[in-house]
Amino acid sequence: MAGYTKLFGSILDSTVWATPSAVRCVWITMLAMSDRDGIVEASVPGLAKRSGVDRGDCERALALFLAPDPDSRSREFEGRRIRPVDGGWQLLNYEKYRDKSSLDERKSKDAARQKRKRDRDAASRDASRSVTTGHGPSQIVPAVTPSAAAATSTSFSKAAAAASQTDEAAAATTGKIRCPPDLELTPDERGNIEMQGVPSHAIDSITARYRIQWLSGDARSLAQWRRGLVKTVLGDWRKEPKPEAQDEKAALAADHLRHKREREERRKREAEAAEQGAAK
């Protein structure tokens, strides 16, 4: 059964391309008719008909393909292109080009797959640099310090005063409001967060930033605002660089270096003792 044959551009530089057009037509037709093993099942008249040439031209083309070609770029089979088989002919270099085609396709697919992976990894890295609150777009998290908490709270108080009247009207009609100017964690929520290692000043600073960020955002229920605040405090703090973790890593490195030096000194003393014993 005939299959699919990939046509390489290198055919334009082959000796068969320098032959008369009827020979080229027969060769291209045989490529198109070949199955996955390079077998072309046809008779001479049938091949001539499918090639669109007369029988004489077809026979001359077959004779050329069966004969050695001293100018062929391929040294295999002395440049012959086909050999007779039961029911037709076999293209002699078909496997070579079939495997090359498969390799090219695999490389192309691998390259596309690796590009998709790089794109996913890049998107993941971008997401890891941002904090998603569940109520809007992500934003880069700045460092949390006690002085930043105080400055943020001052800025917030000015912005909150301008929005309070609109919030009261929205709550009366829909039950949803913009982020409340006085939104705070409940004692239980704050206690649970502190138990996870988040210091008090960081909770205050992140809470103030959260309120300013969503002061002019969409209206939501109070429960939604609280859930978003808890998620943001925990998420922001986990992304903060931890000096204590860096100190612990440095201490481990120092311990490792100290143990290494002790081992080297011990080996040196043992070697010296062995030399002294041998000398006695």
pLDDT tens column, 127-186: 555 444 444 444 444 554 555 555 555 554 554 455 455 555 545 555 677 777 778 888
Q: pLDDT higher for 249 or 119?
A: 119
Per-residue pLDDT, 100 = 63
Per-residue pLDDT, 47 = 94
Q: Residue 163: how many CB atoms within 10 A of its CB? A: 16
Q: pLDDT higher for 269 or 60?
A: 60
Q: pLDDT higher for 247 or 198?
A: 198
- Residue 27: helix, strand or coil by DSSP? helix
Any bridge partners for residue 40, and if so which?
Answer: 89
Q: Give the mean model confidence (pLDDT) for residues 103-132.
A: 66
Report the distance separating Cα 232 and Cα 42, nearest Å: 74
93 pLDDT more than 60: yes
Q: Give the mean model confidence (pLDDT) for residues 231-256.
A: 71
Q: Give the mean model confidence (pLDDT) for residues 11-16.
A: 78
> How would residue 255 be classed by pLDDT, with cut points 50, 70 and 90?
confident
Q: pLDDT higher for 19 or 150?
A: 19
Poorest-confidence range of 84-93, 165-174, 268-277? 165-174
The whole-model pTM stands at 0.36
Q: Give the mean model confidence (pLDDT) for residues 28-44.
A: 89
260 pLDDT more than 50: yes
Report the distance separating Cα 253 and Cα 228, nearest Å: 39
Angle between helices 200-213 and 222-239 (to 10 degrees): 130
22 pLDDT more than 60: yes
Q: What is the mean pLDDT of the chain?
A: 75
Any bridge partners for residue 89, and if so which?
Answer: 40, 84
Q: Please say whether the beta carbons of 62 and 89 come within 8 A.
A: yes
Q: Please say whether the beta carbons of 213 and 203 come within 8 A.
A: no
Q: Give the mean model confidence (pLDDT) for residues 48-53.
A: 94
Report the distance separating Cα 183 and Cα 181, nearest Å: 6
pLDDT digits (tens, 9 = 90+) for 69-84: 887 777 777 888 889 9
Structure tokens of 12?
């334009």
Per-residue pLDDT, 203 = 86
Angle between helices 200-213 and 146-174 (to 10 degrees): 50
Report the distance separating Cα 19 and Cα 22, nearest Å: 8
Per-residue pLDDT, 131 = 42
